Structure 1
Amino acid sequence: MPQDHQELEGREEIRRAMAAYYERPATTERTVDVDRTRYVLHTTADPDVFVVEIDTAFDGPAGASDMSLVQIFRLRDGRIALLRDYFASDEVA
């Protein structure tokens, strides 16, 4: 199965890509159910690296659904230097 990923580098490139993502037309009527959404924060031996598991719960016309993702953060001087975001892109509406 081919790997579909996009690599963004630098603050402005990340801002442009995220803005374009959130400006696209919605293809679903799902809404996030904050009460059912959960996350787990994992620390590592490196104080500048942490991992977050997120299970986002949605409600919509077809009923409840979930989307799981994992994010890996690397900090430098207290700022995010690297963020890796892993999720099933076909689940993102």
Structure 2
Amino acid sequence: MSRTPQEIFQSYVHAGTISRNADALAENFTEDGVFEAPLVPPGGDFPSRLVGREQIRDAMAAYYARPVEAGRSPNFEKSGYVLHTTADPEVFIAEIDTVFDGDGDGDGDGGDDVAVSLVQIFRIRDGKIARLRDYFAPGLVSSDRPE
């Protein structure tokens, strides 16, 4: 049974962003699935390219084992997304606006909310992600962000 783009996207977000469950995240991908973050330099905190469900599982488990930086948890009530289908039934695009509650700069002053926009391009096969290209600002996942 094939899943809709909405179901695939929601499952991916729940497994990754919400629960940080590498096993569940990897199960959203085909056995030979590819995860790419083209704007992230190789060798950084966040993987820039992973090939195969097991590599996705292992690399994301290592990433999720790192502590979440204070002030970096998304506020799902303030965040939103729009899914765009394409002429190719195996491709859909997620346009995402994620809002982090105040003090996203980590200076402890509470500060204003921080909004971050990103785009993900999904290629699906048999209801699973065959390729995901995740375009976001690399500073969001790097421990050497400017203060």
Coarse TM-score class (shorter-chain normalised) = 0.7 to 0.9
SS for the counterpart of 2:57 is: helix
Unaligned runs of 5+ in 1: none
Which structure has more relative contact order (CA 8 Å, sep 6+)? It is 2
Q: Percent identity?
A: 57
Tell me, in whole angstroms, the C-alpha distance in 2 between the residues paired with 1:91 and 1:40. Answer: 21
1:31 pairs with one of 62, 69, 73:
73
In the superposition, the TM-score normalised over structure 1's length comes to 0.85
Q: RMSD of the TM alignment (CA)?
A: 1.9
The runs of 4+ residues in structure 1 deviating greater than 3 Å are none
Matched-pair contact (CA < 8 Å) for 2:40–2:137: no
Contact 2:120 2:133 in 1 (8 A): yes
Question: Displacement of 1:3 after TM fit?
Answer: 6.3
Indicate the residue corresponding to 2:41 in structure 1.
Answer: 4
**How many residues align structurally?**
92
| Residue aligning to 1:43 | 85
Q: What is the aligned counterpart of 1:63 among 107, 112, 119? A: 112
Counterparts of 1:77 and 1:91 in 2: how far apart (Å)?
31
Instruction: Check 1:75–1:42 CA distance in 2 against 1; reply closer, same or farther (3 A cut).
Output: same
Residue 33 of structure 1 deviates from its aligned partner by 1.5
